[in-house]
Amino acid sequence: MTAREPQPYTVSIAAIPRMIPRTSTYIDLRSWVFWVGLILTVVGLIKWTPYVTAALAASPSTALLAASLWLLYGFTFIVILYRLELFERRSPVTVLGALLWGAVAAPGLGAIAAPAMHDVVASVLGSNNPWVPSLAAPLSEEPLKLLGVLALALIPGARVRSAADGLFYGAVVGLGFMVSESFLYTATFSSDGNIDTVWAMVWLRGIVGGLWSHATYSAIAGAGLGYFFNSGNSAWRRWGALALGLGLAMALHGFFDTPWFSGNAVLSSIVKGLPVLALFLVVLRWTHLRERRTFAGLAQHVVPDDLVSPGDFTTLATRRARRTARHWAEKRGGRTTARALKRLQGAQLSLLTAAHEDGWGSPRTIELTRDVRILSATLDRRQAQADAAAAARRPR
C-alpha cells in the first residue's frame, strides 16, 4: 500500500453497536422516540399555525406568493442536497420527517422557548442591548433543531450511521426551519400588499444568504451528533464532537445575527456569511473523508471481492471517478455498456450502504448481493459483445 492510498477505516466497524431496524424509515410505531417526536410535532403545529394564519389573513395575495416562492425554493434546495449525496440515497419518507420537524416542530416549540430565552438574556445584558437577539435566537433555535436529528438517530429505521448522515439530516431540518421562518418574515413584512417586498426578501434570505443560513448551522451540529452516536473513539472525543458541533452552530448563528455591518443588508450577509460557509465546507469535507474511509474499509474487510473489491471502490469513491469509468465504458461499448455500468455502480454502492447500516448478512445485503451478481454478469456480456463487434470491424 502506497502512502497516498486512503487508509481503510479499521475502527472496528463490527464493534460499533448496531440496532437492528424494524422498519425501513423513521416511522416505527413501537418506538417511544417516534411517538414523542410526533407529539412534539403536533404541539409545534398548534403553536405555529396562528402565526401562519395571521400572515395569510393580513395580505392573502403577498402571503400566497411568499408561500409559493419559499416552497419552490425549499424543493429546489432539497433536490440539490439529495443529488449531492456521496454514496447513498436516503429514504424520502425519513427526509420528509426531518423537513416536518424543521418546518413545524422546531419553529412552533421555538415560539414558546424563544421569548423565554430572550427574557433570560435581556435580564443579563439589559433589554435595550442590541446583542440580545444575536445571543437569544441561537441558544433556543439550534438545540430545538438538533432534537429532530437526535430523534432520527435514536430510531433504528432512520439509519443515522455516521457523521455524514447527521450532517445531511441536520441540513434538511435546518432547511425546513429556514423555509418556514422565511415565509413568515416575508409575509409579515409584505402585509401592506407590496409584492416588491416579497421578491426582496426571497433575494436576500434565499439567494444571497441561502448558503449560510439555518441549513448550514444545523448541518454542522448534526455532524457532531452523528459522530457521537457512531464513532468507535473514546467517550470524551465523542462528547467533545457533539458539544463542538452544537457550540459551533450556535456561535455561527449568533455571529451572523450580530449588529455588525448592519448598514447594508446584502454586504452584511456576504461579509458575515462567507466565514460561516468556509467552516461548513471544512466540516463537509471531514464527514465525506470519514464516510469514504468507512466504505473503503467495508470493501476491503467485509464485502467479498467478487462483489466490491478494494480496486472497485477506487472507482466508486468519488462522483468524478464514477463518471470517468462510465465515460470509458461508453467509448469501449457504447451507451448501452455505460448504462449497464451505471446500474452496477448503483447496486454496489447500495450493497456497501446496506452492509454499513444493517450489517453483513442482513436481508438487504442478501438481496443486493444477488442484484450485483446479475448486473455484473450483464455488464460482462455487454462488454464481450462490444469487443466482438469491434473485432469484426477491424480490417483483416
The ranges assigned to domains in the chain are 32-300, 303-391
Cβ atoms within 10 A of the Cβ of 119, count? 12
CA distance 171 to 142: 12
More confident residue, 44 or 130: 44
Is residue 86 within 8 A of residue 322, CB to CB? The reply is no
Cut 0.85: pTM above it = yes
Say whether pLDDT at 69 is over 50. Answer: yes
Q: Give the model's pLDDT for residue 119.
A: 92
**Where is mean pLDDT largest: 122-131, 209-218, 241-250?**
241-250
Q: Band the pLDDT of 395: cuts 50, 70, 90.
A: low
Judge residue 286's burial from the number of C-beta atoms within 10 Å of its C-beta, 0-12 exposed, 13-18 middle, 19 or more buried. Answer: middle
Computed over every residue of the chain, the mean pLDDT equals: 88
**172: its cell numbers:** 434538511
Q: Which residues are CB-contacts of 31 (< 8 A; sequence separation ≥ 6)?
A: 22, 154, 155, 156, 157
Q: Cα(299)–Cα(280) distance, rounded to whole angstroms?
A: 28
Contact 238, 179 (CB under 8 A): no
Using 50, 70 and 90 to split pLDDT, how confident is the model at 110?
A: very high
CA distances from 238 to 10, 241, 272, 323 (A): 17, 5, 29, 35
For residue 264, is pLDDT > 70? yes
Residue 205 has what DSSP assignment?
Answer: I
At 217 the pLDDT is 96
pLDDT in tens, 308-324: 988 889 999 888 899 99
Question: At 363, is the secondary structure helix, strand, or coil?
Answer: helix
Amino acid at 176: G
Checking if the pLDDT of 396 tops 70, the result is no
DSSP H or E segment with residue 242? helix 235-256
Quickly state the pLDDT bin for 221 (edges 50, 70, 90): very high
- Which range among 18-27, 221-230, 286-295 shows the weakest confidence by mean pLDDT? 18-27
* Segment 249-253 mean pLDDT: 95
Map residue 73 onto helix, strand or coil.
helix
CA distances to 27, 88, 100, 155, 204 from 32, rounded to whole Å, are 11, 27, 18, 9, 40
Q: Tell me the HSE value of 182 on the side-chain side, using a 13 A CA sphere.
A: 33
Cβ(159)–Cβ(27) under 8 Å?
no
Split at pLDDT 50, 70, 90, the class of 230 is confident
Flag whether pLDDT at 84 surpasses 90.
no
**pLDDT > 70: percent of the chain:** 94
Residues 169-197 have a mean pLDDT of 94
Nearest-angstrom CA–CA distance, 301 and 295: 10
- Mean pLDDT calculated for residue range 118-144: 90
Residue with cell 455484473: 376
Residue of 336 and 71 predicted with greater confidence: 71
Q: Answer yes or no: is pLDDT of 363 > 90.
A: no
- Spatial neighbors of 386 by CB under 8 A, at least 6 apart, are 332, 333, 334, 337
Predicted confidence (pLDDT) per residue in 152-178, tens digit: 999 988 989 899 999 999 999 999 999
Band (pLDDT 50/70/90 cuts) for residue 90 is confident
Residue 130 has what pLDDT? 85
pLDDT surpasses 70 at 57: yes
Q: In Å, how far are 16, 89, 126, 242, 334 from 372, measured between CA atoms?
A: 26, 17, 64, 37, 21
**Diameter of the chain measured on Cα atoms:** 92
pLDDT tens profile 10-56: 333 433 345 567 888 899 999 999 999 999 999 999 999 999 999 99
Which three three-digit cell numbers place residue 285? Answer: 469535507
